[in-house]
């Protein structure tokens, strides 16, 4: 099926679009539900486990960026966090997708991008008295815990699902 707006480029299938919407909503909902640990100087965003989904699903790349954008807007994050936090998630999702053949390295991408970018946002927008390096380290540590513990567990469960359930 080709896209009438862009000749030669396939249109996103309904199943892919539905999965993307579900991923975005789940990311935003988890972040908001766990708001006390999702925002601020010390962050442990459980929703970041979803950042490994691009290993399995290409539609997870834009979905994660949209979910992060929604979570940051609805969570009342400062504009710097809305813009740069979303950018960090998008860059991490793209890199994760590109490195999908090497899952351990792919899992390091959200740690790297969020550690540097969101760490800088935390320093400048939330806690300028805390040294920049410490903010980056704090965000990286929380991200690593989620991406190397919960993320692989999530992928393991999804890989055990019959493909007809995952790729409706």
pLDDT recorded at residue 2: 45
pLDDT under 50: residue ranges of the chain:
1-4
> For residue 69, is it within any domain?
yes
Report how far residue 117's alpha carbon sits from residue 27's, in angstroms, rounded to the nearest whole number: 19
Report how far residue 161's alpha carbon sits from residue 62's, in angstroms, rounded to the nearest whole number: 23
CA angle at 97 for the pair 91 and 100, rounded to the nearest 5°: 135
> For residue 61, is it within any domain?
yes
Query: For residue range 24-58, what is the model confidence (pLDDT) as tens digits?
Result: 999 999 999 999 999 988 899 999 999 999 999 99
Tokens of 144: 């690593």
pTM to 2 decimal places: 0.90
Structural domain count of the chain: 1
pLDDT recorded at residue 12: 63
> For residue 9, is it within any domain?
no
DSSP-derived letter for residue 148 is I
> For residue 40, is it within any domain?
no
Pick from 71, 105, 73, 113: nearest CA to 89: 113
> For residue 57, is it within any domain?
yes
Query: Can you tell me which residue has the tokens 């410490």?
Result: 134
Report how far residue 38's alpha carbon sits from residue 72's, in angstroms, rounded to the nearest whole number: 10
Question: Quick check: 1 and 13 in contact, CB under 8 A?
Answer: yes
> For residue 39, is it within any domain?
no
pLDDT recorded at residue 1: 44
> For residue 168, is it within any domain?
no
The rounded Cα 55 to chain-centroid distance in angstroms is 12
Pick from 7, 118, 103: nearest CA to 55: 103
> For residue 164, is it within any domain?
no
Report how far residue 63's alpha carbon sits from residue 26's, in angstroms, rounded to the nearest whole number: 10
* Structural domain for 126, as ranges: 14-31+48-159
pLDDT recorded at residue 10: 58
């Amino acid at each position: 099926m080709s896209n009438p707006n862009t000749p030669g480029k396939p249109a996103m299938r309904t199943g892919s679009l539905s999965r993307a919407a579900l991923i975005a909503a789940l990311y935003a909902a988890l972040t908001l539900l766990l708001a006390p640990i999702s925002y601020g100087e010390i962050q442990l965003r459980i929703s970041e486990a979803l950042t490994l989904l691009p290993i399995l699903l290409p539609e997870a790349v834009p979905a994660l960026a949209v979910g992060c954008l929604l979570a940051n807007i609805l969570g009342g994050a400062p504009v710097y966090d809305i813009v740069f936090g979303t950018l960090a998630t998008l860059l991490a999702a793209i890199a994760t997708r590109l490195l999908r053949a090497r899952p351990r390295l792919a899992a390091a991408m959200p740690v790297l991008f969020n550690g540097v970018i969101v760490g800088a946002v935390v320093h400048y927008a939330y806690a300028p008295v805390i040294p920049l390096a410490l903010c980056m380290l704090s965000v990286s540590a929380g991200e690593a815990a989620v991406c190397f513990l919960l993320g692989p567990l999530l992928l393991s469960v999804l890989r055990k699902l019959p493909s007809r359930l995952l790729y409706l």
